[in-house]
Structure 1
């Protein structure tokens, strides 16, 4: 993979949380292809370092900042590293999150608190401190990771689903709050995507979720990354407050 000199986000300083695996990694690779300067975050240092090394070997200008998105100190450090290294922030992809499966009976208060800390508080903090830098510049784009679980009730999602309602709600409210400051805020709502977590469902589990998607398959991380790229780019300059399904028709049913 070689980075293009001119691309849809060429030289845009882009912060991506949860970047080491799955959709986060696919997004980092896609933005690299389009010329972005990358500030990549993940809680796990080793895969983050490997990704940064791989991207830089192919001509990308990327740094890695390990940390927990639920920690205000860690998010402040992430944003400060982006500003000190590249001079500002143009794009935030608030991707970091966890996907616990639990119905109401099996869910615990601790699981609820942990999920809301990562998926809710983490997204709030990422948006808060990245947006502060964007407002200074009078421009910026934020893309949050929501889910079909924020729109359609599902079995076994008594904790994760409500956390993704936070993502969609935060997107819409921040879009209005920041519109007059030159900052756009949108989200993508993926359906079931081919990630390590989904692979763990096994053959029968995967066949079941495939049957729920009218296109007859699950999605690829690269397909979500393409939607994120569009919303973050100037091609979406008159779009804010939108939650774009990338779900193979799931929500159209």
Structure 2
């Protein structure tokens, strides 16, 4: 990244971001790019991923894009292998890829449960597993997982998504302990309602009701979540591991 647009908080650090083409993933990619990271961006959708990679390259960012579904072990292995082949190591993982289905218990199907758990659960596990293996070789690294307020507070219409985010928070805490003596920190952010394309496609009445429950009285911005991710991934958080940081406008403080 050109020196006039990077303050260098993650200067030169090889950062893998899953689900990077839209929403919080894209905002995180752009934020890390401004801070000097070398980026490996992943998404299931090739076209928006290619567009983002092209835009960042035009700004002087060292970046590659690798399309693939994180629910596939082979795809995740390929992401990490190509990251190391291109940049020599992995310093940071942002395990962001996920889906946000709306379903109560009566309407939820087994297929919806399996699909959500495959991406939000298994996909996060696989991303952490194979990125951490590379970090352990170097004796250092930082992982940031994307959890949610739904992992801490019960909500209507979240009979599938909420439990999947419990996986994210639980995985964060257990891996933090498992990897602490290997030099790898593992933390998570728990966003509230954030103004992303995924949220924009949800029921408006339901969104308005949830937004009204945030004491700050608005949806968060993807960039605000990206800022928290950057902090946890950076050396500024060097004595923080196993934390799940709410970025929720005060939702969980009630």
Q: TM-score range by the shorter chain?
A: over 0.9
Alignment partner of 2:20: what SS?
coil
Deviation string 1:153-206 (CA, Å, 9 cap, x unpaired) is 000000000000000000000000000000000000000000112222365343
TM-score by length of structure 1 reads 0.98
In 2: Cα distance, 1:64 partner to 1:200 partner: 26
- Stretches of structure 2 that go unaligned for 5 or more consecutive residues are none
Say whether the 8 Å CA contact 1:20–1:41 is kept in structure 2.
Answer: yes
Q: How many residues align?
A: 253
Alignment partner of 2:174: what SS?
helix
In 1: Cα distance, 2:148 partner to 2:28 partner: 16
Match of 1:164 in 2: 165
Alignment partner of 1:63: what SS?
strand
TM-score by length of structure 2 reads 0.97
Cα gap change, 1:37/1:144 in structure 2, threshold over 3 Å: closer, same or farther?
same
In 2: Cα distance, 1:197 partner to 1:143 partner: 20
Match of 2:119 in 1: 118
The root-mean-square deviation of aligned C-alpha atoms, in Å, is: 1.2
In 2: Cα distance, 1:80 partner to 1:203 partner: 41
- Stretches of structure 1 that go unaligned for 5 or more consecutive residues are none
In 2: Cα distance, 1:111 partner to 1:207 partner: 25
In 2: Cα distance, 1:6 partner to 1:243 partner: 26
Alignment partner of 2:142: what SS?
strand
In 1: Cα distance, 2:208 partner to 2:247 partner: 19
Match of 1:240 in 2: 241
Say whether the 8 Å CA contact 1:140–1:182 is kept in structure 2.
Answer: yes
